[in-house]
A and B are shown apart, each in its own frame.
Chain A
Amino acid sequence: AQTVTQSQPEMSVQEAETVTLSCTYDTSESDYYLFWYKQPPSRQMILVIRQEAYKQQNATENRFSVNFQKAAKSFSLKISDSQLGDAAMYFCAHQLNFGNEKLTFGTGTRLTIIP
């Protein structure tokens, strides 16, 4: 079974600064996907960024980037130039790449942006 661990229940960052959210996972498989989702107060799950395990290059989406360390099974999210709208719960998730495989979520990190 896959597990995802987010060791930071809460994080805070000054507006315009950079923050990194940690995520580690455990799987015996080699082909999988990793995701970061954002859940704002509206509770709508929003995909922030995805990473295919077979790709060595770290994914980047505008101010969001990841540090994917496959051997260490680590998948951290870096948010640059933090904005007030970034305040939310952030969930790291893992999904195997075959069949009807399901998402396994971490416990989440609540990010607060300090004006």
Chain B
Amino acid sequence: GAVVSQHPSWVICKSGTSVKIECRSLDFQATTMFWYRQFPKQSLMLMATSNEGSKATYEQGVEKDKFLINHASLTLSTLTVTSAHPEDSSFYICSAREQQAYEQYFGPGTRLTVT
């Protein structure tokens, strides 16, 4: 149980285009989802927290207009990187948590390369 999937696992896009990453909880209802970014050989950096049906809460320094997060259902959250640039190339990881639970379940991550 407690499986979180991400799609795609790897995406290449051209500079200036937008790319959407999906995060799904497969066997539980995720009232809260988190999006992280991880640069090579570094730790996970939280980008934003989203609650189903509400606007996401972004961490300081994260551009909300560039990283659009939607959590429209209890099993799906999406991260859209708008007008991507090479510096947005990174590994993006989502996690999900059930209501009144404390443990987060992590997706397998998405590698984004912007050329």
Q: Which of B49, B102, B106 contacts A45 (CB 8 A)?
A: B106
Q: Are B103 and A47 touching (Cβ within 8 A)? A: yes
Q: Are A103 and B42 touching (Cβ within 8 A)? A: no
How many chain B residues sit at the interface, stated as a range, is: 10 to 19
How many chain A residues sit at the interface, stated as a range, is: 10 to 19
Task: Please indicate the chain A residues that have their CB under 8 angstroms from the CB of B91 in the complex.
Answer: 43
Q: Which of B42, B103, B106 contacts A44 (CB 8 A)?
A: B106
Q: How far is the CB of A45 from chain B (nearest CB, A)?
A: 4
In the bound assembly, the distance between CA atoms of A46 and B42 in angstroms comes to 16
Q: Are B42 and A107 touching (Cβ within 8 A)? A: yes
Q: How far is the CB of B77 from chain A (nearest CB, A)?
A: 14
Binary interface encoding of chain A residues 88-111 relative to chain B, with 1 for a CB under 8 A from any of its CBs, else 0: 000100010100101101111000
Task: Please indicate the chain A residues that have their CB under 8 angstroms from the CB of B108 in the complex.
Answer: 42-44
Q: DSSP majority for the B interface?
A: strand
Q: Are A103 and B49 touching (Cβ within 8 A)? A: no
| B78: Cβ under 8 A from any A Cβ | no
Q: Which A residues, 23 to 59, have Cβ-Cβ distances below 8 Å to chain B? A: 33, 42-47, 50
Q: Which of B42, B51, B102 contacts A97 (CB 8 A)?
A: B102
Q: How far is the CB of B100 from chain A (nearest CB, A)?
A: 11
Given the known interface contacts A33-B102, A45-B93, the answer about A105 and B44 at a Cβ–Cβ threshold of 8 Å is yes
In the bound assembly, the distance between CA atoms of A35 and B95 in angstroms comes to 15
In the bound assembly, the distance between CA atoms of A103 and B104 in angstroms comes to 9
Residue on A with the closest CB to B32?
Answer: A100
Q: How far is the CB of A62 from chain B (nearest CB, A)?
A: 18
Given contacts A95-B102, A108-B43, 20 further A-B contacts (CB under 8 A): A33-B102, A42-B108, A43-B38, A43-B108, A44-B109, A45-B93, A45-B95, A46-B106, A91-B44, A100-B32, A100-B49, A100-B51, A102-B46, A102-B49, A103-B95, A103-B104, A105-B43, A105-B44, A106-B43, A108-B42
Which positions in B face A, CB cutoff 8 Å?
A: 32, 34, 38, 42-44, 46, 49, 51, 91, 93, 95, 102-104, 106, 108-109
Listed from nearest, the 7 A-B pairs whose CB atoms lie closest are A45-B106, A105-B43, A44-B108, A107-B43, A43-B109, A105-B44, A108-B43
